[in-house]
Every structure is written in structure tokens, then in C-alpha cells.
Structure 1
Amino acid sequence: MKERIYMSINRIKQFYLFATDKVKKEDIDFTKKYLDKNEINIFNSLSNADKKHSIRVAYDVFKICRKENKDLDITHRLVKVALLHDVGKGLCKLNIIDRSLLVILDSLSNGKIKKFSNIKKIDIYYNHAEKAYNILKNNGYDDNFLNLIKNHHSRNINIDDELRILMFCDDKN
């Protein structure tokens, strides 16, 4: 019961942030520290709300990596993953109403609306991680990097420390 209340409060927070939070100059500067020109082009395919979400995830990943004394290379890589983890959403923009309805329908149907993945917005909602993986797989990333992107919503796999950090920060934001 407590977890359900937390999830509901978190969804309200996410709705509010989606509607109000804006990408600022310092956010753009932050992304430029971690993404190259090609990656910035890919990142820019996202809606402003999805960019800001990814930036918030990346900020939190950075804080956790610092707190846990992660190696600088690992920190840099995980921040890059956080910035790029949702680029599959750039293939079909979901506005605040689309997203809200999909979250509600997903909850009410216990995920059964996934069978309607032939509808583009439902497909993106459920499969954006796989789509992000496909967008990034021919850009020279190693398997671990790509698997973090592909599995950032997977709950039924072996979750290593890096995926744990990414999932926690993504769920929080």
C-alpha cells in the first residue's frame, strides 16, 4: 500500500515537472560536457520535457556516482547513458495528455494495453528503451552501455550496480 501511494505521488510530481520544468542554459552546458556533436543531435530529437527529464536523471546519476566514489570514467559514462536513455521517445512525441492517458490506461489494464503496440504512441510508451538501443547500436558504444539503455525499465533481469543507479534515478524523475 505504501509503495502504491509513493508511486501515485511520484506520478503527480512527474506530471507537474513535465508541464512546468524548462531546459536552462546551465542544463545545455552540462549536456555539452558529456555528449559529442552527434550525441547532441540525437539528444535534440527529444521533446523539451523529455530532454529535461533526461537531464534531471543525469544530474542525479552524477550525484550518486560522486557519493559512492565511482571512478571518473564510470561516472562520465553513466551520465552519458542517463542523457541518452530515452532517445527512443524522439521517434514519436508524447504530449502531456498522451502520456497521462497512457499511464492511467497502463495502470487500469495492468499493462494489457501493451498488446496494442501497433498504435505508435503505445509502441513508444512501452518500447522506447528498445528503440533507443536501436538508434544507438551503430554508433560505436560497447555492449554494456547499450544494455543499460535497453534495460532501464526491465525488472526481470540481473540488475548490476550501474543499472541500479540508472533505474533509481529514472524512477525518481
Structure 2
Amino acid sequence: MALYRIKQFYWAITSEINLQDREFLKQYLNKNELLLFYKLVVYDQKHSIKTAQDVKEICFKNNICNDNLIKAALLHDVGKIINGLNLFEKSIIVILDKVFKDKIRKYENLKLVDSYYNHGEKGYHILKEHGYDERFLYLVKNHHNNDIIGDKELNILKQCDSNN
């Protein structure tokens, strides 16, 4: 797991959005969604694109037609535009979370902890203001909720998010 986290850090510092990524985004996001998406820092944009591409692949392999799930994957971290973390803050909180499990959650009054644990909820509220349906909002809000099982779409999103 530590080696994977080092890889993730490397991916983050070398992230860039290329023409192929932009074309992928244009397939699934409208103009307003793109404006929202581009408020994310580049490494979160790239992460979301990779997550959505994995979602698309799983849907294709399982003969599931779900552009809504791909769009949710692209926008699942939009809550990070509120009190976003820089790469070093994110690295610190990931390490603390790994070492202390969920014990640091009780310090949600700190920007670092709040942003890490509550970006799904924040994304829910941002996207709700833009008129998304409840199912879409549910996916964004719960993409880190491990208490929910048995929801095929949510499980795909969680798996792809975790892998990227």
C-alpha cells in the first residue's frame, strides 16, 4: 500500500490534462459542468478522468449503458473546490488516515480533515444547486461511504475511485 501511495503522489505531481482527456470530458460534460470541473486542481481533474474511464470500461465489460455514472465519476470530487487541499496537505491527511483509521475524523473543525472526509457532502450541495437528480447526487455524496453495500453503481464508482 505504501508503494501505491508513492505512485499516487508521483502521478499527482506530474498530472496534466491532454487533448485526449479534453475530448473525453466533452463527451460527457456540458459547458457548465466543464466550468465546474476545471475549478478542481489538475491532479484531482486527472484523478476524476481516470476514475471515469475505469467506470466506462467496467460498464462496457458488463454491458451496462450508464453515461450518468460516468458523469458522476467525473464530478465526484467537485466538493474539493471548497477548502481544497494542496498536494502536501492531502498527502499528510492520507497518511494520518491510514495510521489512525477514522480517529482523526473527530477533528472535522480543521480544514484539512473537513475537506478530506466531507468533500462528497460538499459536492452534493454544489451539484444540488445546479439541479441534478437525487440519484446522481446520491452517488457523489456517498462515493466514500463504506456503510452502503448492495448498490451496483455506487460500488463501481467506489471501486474505480479507490483504484485511482
- The two structures have a TM-score, normalised by structure 2, of 0.94
Among 47, 64, 71, the alignment partner of 1:53 is 47
Among 7, 12, 22, the alignment partner of 2:6 is 12
Q: Which residue matches 1:160?
A: 151
Cα displacement (A) at 1:97: 1.1
1:81-115 CA-to-partner distances (Å, cap 9, x unmatched) read: 00000000111232221111111112222222212
Where structure 2 has 5 or more consecutive residues not aligned to the other structure, the ranges are none
Q: Which residue matches 1:137?
A: 128
Among 88, 101, 105, the alignment partner of 2:79 is 88
**In the alignment, does 2:14 pair up with 1:23?**
no
Q: Which residue matches 1:3?
A: none
- The two structures have a TM-score, normalised by structure 1, of 0.89
Distance in structure 2 (CA, Å) of the matches to 1:45 and 1:120: 18
Name the aligned partner's letter for residue 140 of structure 1: G
Distance in structure 2 (CA, Å) of the matches to 1:45 and 1:160: 29
Q: Does the aligned pair in 1 maintain the 2:54–2:160 contact within 8 Å? A: yes
Q: Which residue matches 2:95?
A: 104
1:112-165 CA-to-partner distances (Å, cap 9, x unmatched) read: 221221111221011000000010012222211110100000011234111111
Indicate the larger mover: 61-70 or 112-121.
112-121
Distance in structure 1 (CA, Å) of the matches to 2:28 and 2:142: 21
Distance in structure 2 (CA, Å) of the matches to 1:81 and 1:150: 10
Among 120, 129, 141, the alignment partner of 1:150 is 141
Distance in structure 2 (CA, Å) of the matches to 1:63 and 1:158: 21
Name the aligned partner's letter for residue 139 of structure 2: L
Name the aligned partner's letter for residue 100 of structure 2: S
Where structure 1 has 5 or more consecutive residues not aligned to the other structure, the ranges are 1-6
- RMSD, aligned α-carbons: 1.3
Distance in structure 1 (CA, Å) of the matches to 2:104 and 2:87: 18
Distance in structure 1 (CA, Å) of the matches to 2:83 and 2:18: 23
Name the aligned partner's letter for residue 106 of structure 2: K
Name the aligned partner's letter for residue 89 of structure 1: K
**In the alignment, does 2:34 pair up with 1:40?**
yes
Q: Which residue matches 1:169?
A: 160
Q: Does the aligned pair in 2 maintain the 1:81–1:145 contact within 8 Å? A: yes
